[in-house]
Amino acid sequence: MTAQPFTATILGSPRIGPNRELKRAVEKYWAGATGRDELESVAAKLRRETWEALAAAGLDSIPVNTFSYYDQVLDTAVMVGALPARFGKVADGLDRYFAAARGNDEIAPLEMTKWFDTNYHYIVPEIGPDTRFELDPSKVLGELEEARAQGIPARPVIIGPVTFLALSKAVDGAGAPLDRLAELTVAYGELLQILAERGAEWVQIDEPVLATDIIGNAAELAERTYASLGRLTDRPAILVATYFGELTDALPALARTPVEAIGVDLVSGDGRSAVSAVPELTDKLLVAGVVDGRNVWRTDLEAALETLTTLQGSVRRLAVSTSCSTLHVPYTLDAEPDMDAALRSWLAFGFEKVTEVVALARGLKNGSQAIAGEIVASNAAVVSRRSDPRLNNESVRARISSLAASGTGRGPAGRRRAAQQARLELPALPTTTIGSYPQTSAIRVARADLRTGKIDAAEYERRMKGEIADVIRLQEELGLDVLVHGEPERNDMVQYFAEQLEGFFATQNGWVQSYGSRCVRPPILYGDVSRPEPMTVAWITHAQSLTDKPVKGMLTGPVTILAWSFVRDDQPLAETAEQVALAIRDETVDLESAGIAIIQVDEPALRELLPLRSKDKEAYLRWAVDAFRLATSGVADSTQIHTHLCYSEFGEVIGAIADLDADVTSIEAARSHMEVLGDLNAAGFTNSVGPGVYDIHSPRVPAVSEMAAALREALNAVPAERLWVNPDCGLKTRRTEEVVASLRNLVAAAKEVRAKEVQGTAD
């Protein structure tokens, strides 16, 4: 443990490849088009080039074992021997790993869920009564060896035992996974010893859960675990890395243990004063996360250097770092040729963040004059960003103030219901879908052809209108009551709007990993948001012109647009949400004027943006609800507002869902067996609801009897006049055959229940 302290590092880096090389290689391997050797050589090349670039940029400690074929939590499950027994059937290690991530013909995969409040998804480990922790350090040792052979100052990164168990799921009647912490800590102890033998000077153990309120006794568990690991004599120096929030009582708790270094996120919350208040830190290396690892804004170097300088007295030594892994941001700004110079000067992607870390470390060591040039450029960016007219649209701001003054409520729900029923004349238990229909290969080809210039905008429009006509015809034939246009023109439910709104920049190559081989390009919301022109009206009115049944307008809500974008950090999220809401409101008003009677505003991300600290939750839910109401209150009582939410465990957001006050809320319930309806009732919700009766996450076609039974169950909680019948999410990922068969059964189930259970509505 005579490790040299380091001065400049990052907590992790992207791994999909600057041109998504890993995505392509993995997908080819899955498809059987290439063999193992080719996949492994692509992976090894990506690792080598990543380390080389980080070392060349000047980092003196470099994270390794941050590469992954799929997910780092799954890697950890493999490392500690915690894959469920059902995967034991797959003899080959790599194929077993992919089976756990994605399932195969016989074995169901592990679940997947959001990594804290990011858009990255991890694989949820299962801890059952038969789980035995048994160390398999081959991956981490392999990467360590590779990096050392390359002369890299390598610091292996592993997910810590507290976080690993806190994010795991108990199965088969096992107790809480965290009950196994002591046992798992023993396996980590063995790992540390092996790492030391193999020459690792440092190890980084990630414990982001300590910066959240996900578990109540985080500080206590951290102290116990790291006191015990710290006590080991043959081990590398330990950096416990925390991120995504401020460490409260876990900071002094960790400081009391013998670990050598603590990583703190100084971007979220007021970490600076928290650090100064902990006397035990005077014998630690503080790895100061002053460069935001998960958003794309350029660091204000002068301010960051000041933070670092004030911290210097409170700790033994200081290293400069990103606040978290840069896994969450794109590789480099160099891949964006079409960005204007001003916007470019305000941003830092993954590689640019490394440069910032290195500059700050130099400034800290040699004084700010040593990085005078960098500071001048950074200050110029700060000034340019502050004074750019695109960040201050007076008319948007004035409209929001005046709407705030006049209030954004709608008429009472009962009056709305009566006005809508008179206008729409829907049967009891109306049937509908959530918006998208299968994205066929014809649709993808048309989009690609438009991009490459093979077809012009007029031809693209003609093809999309043809797709819409097909979807309308299908829905009429199936006998659905409220139709949709099918969303063929949308590449993505956020990017589609971002491309049309002022204040957003849609990147060309800003890919980040969402899960496994799936990558997304979150748009950058940099300025005041406004809507120059209607965004959806032409498509929806075209669809409506083809049918006498009502067609639902389809929009994405303000919270979801923020959740799936990189959002400006120079004003509170609540203010940005209001601006997005105003643009959506303008669209609802135009749809209404064009004769559209039903408008859906999707908010699938309402739950995922919920803050990780309890104290911040109430304020978030308040602005999220306010933004939705601002977006949806511009229309008359006779226009019906729907919303769609995508998850079945509402818990803390159930009250907010009721407060959204949408006329109709469709919600995932197919897998949670309608429990959600009781929860909504308990929250005082009395508007209409469409609990999903068809689980679109599975290729299975649900039988009529099954969906009829679900509807009968729903009728125990909700009266017929408030109940809608729909799938639990959009259909874009499903195949047309499955969708047609399932919707046919869904309509039949609704008719059966209407005829037998609902009096006076035989049809």
User: Hey, is 562 helix, strand or coil?
Assistant: helix
Q: In Å, how far are 73, 176, 183, 235, 588 from 78, measured between CA atoms?
A: 9, 20, 16, 21, 49
Alpha carbon distance 269, 265 (integer Å): 8
668 binds ligand GLN (CB under 6 A): no
* Contact between 591 and 540 (Cβ < 8 Å): yes
**Closest CB to ligand GLN among 304 and 583?**
583
Binding-site partner at residue 609 among Zn ion, ligand GLN, none, CB < 5 to 8 Å by type: none
The catalytic position among 121, 485, 642, 697 is 697
From the list ligand GLN, Zn ion, none, partner contacted by residue 557 (C-beta under 5 to 8 A by kind): none
Cβ–Cβ under 8 Å, residues 494 and 507: no
Judged by CB under 6 A, the residue of 230, 604, 634, 692 near ligand GLN is 604
Do 66 and 72 meet the contact criterion of CB atoms below 8 Å apart? yes
Range 729-748, binding ligand GLN (CB under 6 A): 729-730, 732
Residue 628 Rama label (left phi>0; alpha psi -120 to 50; beta): alpha
Alpha-carbon torsion (18, 19, 23, 25), positive or negative: negative
Say whether 668 counts as a known binding-site residue. yes
Residue 219 binds which of ligand GLN, Zn ion, none (CB < 5-8 A, kind-dependent): none
Q: Judged by CB, which is closer to ligand GLN: 297, or 647?
A: 647
Helix (H) or strand (E) holding 148: helix 138-149
Among 291, 676, 729, 731, binds Zn ion (CB under 5 A): 729
22 near ligand GLN (CB under 6 A): no
Count of residues binding Zn ion (CB under 5 A)?
A: 3
The piece of 12-20, 506-514, 604-612, 740-748 that touches Zn ion (CB under 5 A) is 604-612
Piece of 177-185, 425-433, 563-571, 722-730 that binds Zn ion (CB under 5 A): 722-730
283 annotated as ligand-binding = no
Token pair for 267 = 């971007």
Q: Which is nearer to ligand GLN, 266 or 641 (CB)?
A: 641
Query: Is 489 annotated for ligand binding?
Result: no
- Give the nearer residue to ligand GLN in terms of CB position, either 87 or 724: 724
| Residue 587 C-beta: closest distance to ligand GLN, Å | 14
Q: Please indicate if the annotation marks 555 as binding a ligand.
A: no
* Per CB under 6 A, 436 contacts ligand GLN: yes
Q: Which is nearer to ligand GLN, 64 or 563 (CB)?
A: 563
Interface residue with ligand GLN among 506, 646, 676, 680 (CB under 6 A) is 646
Instruction: Please tell me whether residue 587 binds ligand GLN under the rule CB under 6 A.
Output: no
Burial class (CB in 10 A: 0-12, 13-18, 19+), 302: middle
**Rounded distance between C-alpha atoms, residue 337 and residue 355, angstroms:** 20
Q: What are residue 285's DSSP bridge partners? A: 261, 317
Per CB under 5 A, contacts with Zn ion among 539-578 are none
Strand 502-505 relative to strand 524-530: parallel, antiparallel, unpaired?
Answer: antiparallel
| Main-chain phi, psi angles of 192, to 5 degrees | -60, -40
Chain centroid, CA 639 distance in Å: 32
Give the closest residue to 133 by CA, choosing from 93, 187, 84: 187
Q: Which does 237 bind (CB under 5 to 8 A by kind): Zn ion, ligand GLN, none?
A: none
Secondary structure of residue 441 in the 3-state scheme? helix
Give Cα 83 to chain centroid, integer Å: 25
Give the position of tokens 């493999």: 78
Shortest Å distance, C-beta 151 to ligand GLN: 46
Q: Is 697 a catalytic residue?
A: yes
Residue 554 touches which member of Zn ion, ligand GLN, none, C-beta under 5-8 Å by kind: ligand GLN
User: Does 438 participate in binding ligand GLN (rule CB under 6 A)?
Assistant: no
Residue 550 interacts with, from ligand GLN, Zn ion, none (CB under 5-8 Å by kind): none
Residue 646 binds Zn ion (CB under 5 A):
yes
Alpha helices in 599-653 (DSSP H): 617-632
Closest CA to 419 of 639, 594, 643, 601: 639
Q: Which two tokens stand for residue 756?
A: 């037998």
Residue reference for tokens 């996900």: 214
Question: Would you say 321 is a known binding-site residue?
Answer: no
Q: What is the largest CA-CA distance in the chain?
A: 84
Judged by CB under 6 A, which of 493, 525, 627, 658 binds ligand GLN?
Answer: 493
Answer yes or no whether residue 606 interacts with Zn ion by CB under 5 A.
no
Q: Which residues are annotated as a binding site for L-homocysteine?
A: 434-436, 487, 602
Residues assigned a catalytic role: 697
Detail the residues annotated as belonging to a binding site for Zn(2+).
644, 646, 659, 668, 729
Q: Which residues lie near Zn ion (CB under 5 A)?
A: 604, 646, 729
Which amino acids are annotated as binding site for L-methionine, given as ranges?
Answer: 434-436, 487, 602
Q: Using CB under 6 A as the criterion, which residues of the chain lie in contact with ligand GLN when the complex forms? A: 434-436, 487, 493, 554, 602, 604, 644, 646, 729-730, 732
